[in-house]
Structure formats: structure tokens, C-alpha cells
Copies of this chain bind each other. A is one copy, B any other.
């Protein structure tokens, strides 16, 4: 498959695929006699996997480090669970931080509303 075809199939842009290759997130593509990249259908699944992982909050750097090992040494189920658990903790921390922000905003709003009420006496 040519780059445009696989991009269409996976719902990503061609520039993104080239960018992933440049960054080492995906392996360099095989080339046809004209120099065009030639992809196996498998790559569609990989591209979708990348999008999913990003959606869960994994960075491309993190995804790449898993990808690298999916060749000769695929990551074990236990390892995957470990990575996911770590990411869940990070998301938890993010949520806690955002909730703290929200609390501070709310208390600021209350303060302002009170001072507004007082000024209307």
C-alpha cells in the first residue's frame, strides 16, 4: 500500500506517518522501485494503536519505547499492565491537581460574590 492509501485507511495524514517514521515511532518503510514507501496492511492496526495510546495519555516517546520491543521481544502482559497502572496514577495526579485548581477558583468566586453583596448594602 502507498502512503496515501494507508493514511486514508487508518484515518491519519500522510505527513503524520512520515513524521512518525522520522521520529522512530514506526520502522522505516520498504520502498518500491520508484522510491515510494510501500506498507503492509499490518501498519493500519499499528497506526490505530498509536492513536489509542495517545488518547489514553501516552506520549509518542512512551509509545515508541514500547514499539521498539514489539519486534524481537514483544512486551509481556504483565509489563503492559505495569505501564498502564503507572499511567493511571499519572492521570490520577492530574485529576487531583485539577480538582485543587477548581476548589481555589470556587473559593475565589465566593469571596468576590460576598464582597459584591457587601458593596450593595
Contacts and interface: CB of A to CB of B under 8 A. Distances in A.
Interface residues of A, number: 29
Contact of A116 (B78, B87, B94): B78
How many copies of this chain sit in the oligomeric assembly? 2
The interface residues of chain A, by DSSP majority, are classed as helix
A30 interface: no
A105 interface: yes
Contacts of A81: 109, 112-113, 116
Contact of A84 (B87, B88, B91, B108): B108
A84 B110 CA distance: 10
A27 interface: no
Interface stretch (A1-9, A12-20, A33-41, A95-103): A95-103
A112 B73 CA distance: 18
A95 B98 contact: yes
Contacts of A95: 95, 98-99, 102
A84 B102 contact: no
A98 to B, nearest CB: 5
Contact of A88 (B94, B106, B115, B119): B106
